[in-house]
Amino acid sequence: MSKYWSSLVSELQPYVPGEQPKMANLIKLNTNENPFGPSPKVISAIKSELNDNLRLYPDPEGHALKEAIASYYIDFGIEENQVFVGNGSDEVLAHIFQGLLKQDKPILFPDITYSFYPVYCGLYKVESNIIPLTESFEINPDDYKRDNGGVIFPNPNAPTGRYMGLQHVQAIVEANLDSVVVVDEAYIDFGGETAIRLVNQYPNLVVCQTLSKARSLAGLRVGFAVANAELIEGLNRVKDSFNSYPLDRLALAGAVAAFEDRQWFEDSCNGVIREREKVTKGLEKLGFEVLPSKANFVFARHPEHKGADVAAELREQGIIVRHFNKPRISEFLRITIGTSDQNNALIKALDFL
């Protein structure tokens, strides 16, 4: 503890990111990255942006990217002023916590969910009312009908991978018309249906997405939110009070190209979905219980072997998966879907069970 720290820093309980090991020969199935890599068109767009223009600030509005996102969702009537872009969806979520969630009432989120939510509550002094998942690790929309300063949940949820149909999302949004409902869709493209189609129906709905997963650009740090123009204006005010240039020139160029290459995106998502079915079957054959997943990972437990022990044994064999030492889920492993070879190696390594 430093004598120079403010009391705020002393009280913080920061997010602990998954390990990014230096050893290249490890099979890395611990942080939900996409094994298929970004579109080659993204790489060439970034390369052509590597020029003397780097001396110039980027577009503070990220105009080209907002336009690309709006036209990607044109069927839902999304316009550019309904899009907000940021440096990873973590940053977009931070601005949402700062600007859109009310500080005079507790916000609602599930007990088992993305661990950044409680961290932002600590940083931005937002009170929370944490709602348990059901026995089968699902979000029950009826539990989100109490007074609140906002609601946030991922769909599919993390780290469970469980997906909730759009009619249930809609029920939560409708039950909370006086507060903002944030649907964090980091994993939506692996088989779910986006709530962006509801944005023009509900002025209180914010849908947040990332390019880190389905578009395989975790290293570029790009995320975005879609909502009605007034909420987006609120987010812009927060951004311009923090960092007017959240996205650099390379990130903007790469992200625009990612939205333009639909074929690569669709092939990549389908590849992950196919492999997810294979991994699920392989794990079930080994005796694991695997929660139904619509994400690029599965959440699984073995009735006889402790999650921490299995993770440690896999690590010995050069495979890293994620284990959370938290109530209710300490028996589970969260396993990212890798390439076909990586997934085969995973199932083979679990032969010891």
Where do contacts with ligand PMP occur on this chain (CB under 6 A)? 88-90, 114, 154, 158, 184, 186, 210, 212, 218, 223
88 or 141, CB closer to ligand PMP? 88
What's the CA gap between 144 and 214, in Å, rounded?
Answer: 29
90 or 275, CB closer to ligand PMP? 90
Q: In whole angstroms, how close is the CB of 188 to ligand PMP at the nearest point?
A: 10
Task: Locate 274 and state its tokens.
Answer: 């196919």
Instruction: Tell me which H or E stretch contains 225.
Output: strand 223-226
| DSSP structural state of residue 322 | B
64 or 218, CB closer to ligand PMP? 218
49 or 90, CB closer to ligand PMP? 90
Q: In whole angstroms, how close is the CB of 88 to ligand PMP at the nearest point?
A: 3
Q: In whole angstroms, how close is the CB of 304 to ligand PMP at the nearest point?
A: 29
| DSSP structural state of residue 78 | -
φ, ψ at 296 (rounded to 5°): -95, 30
What's the CA gap between 243 and 250, in Å, rounded?
Answer: 17
Q: In whole angstroms, how close is the CB of 2 to ligand PMP at the nearest point?
A: 28
Q: In whole angstroms, how close is the CB of 17 to ligand PMP at the nearest point?
A: 8
What's the CA gap between 321 and 328, in Å, rounded?
Answer: 18
Tokens 């914010």 belong to residue: 206
175 or 218, CB closer to ligand PMP? 218
SS (H, E, C) 181-205: EEEECCCCCCCCCCHHHHCCCCCCE
Q: In whole angstroms, how close is the CB of 158 to ligand PMP at the nearest point?
A: 4
15 or 347, CB closer to ligand PMP? 15
Instruction: Tell me which H or E stretch contains 346.
Output: helix 340-349
Cβ(41)–Cβ(261) under 8 Å?
yes
10 Å CB burial of residue 115 (0-12, 13-18, 19+) is middle
In the β-sheet with 332-336, what is the strand arrangement from edge to edge?
A: 289-290, 297-301, 332-336
Q: In whole angstroms, how close is the CB of 353 to ligand PMP at the nearest point?
A: 27
179 or 210, CB closer to ligand PMP? 210
Burial track 279-296 (b if 16+ CB lie within 10 A, e otherwise)? bbebbeeeebebbebbbb
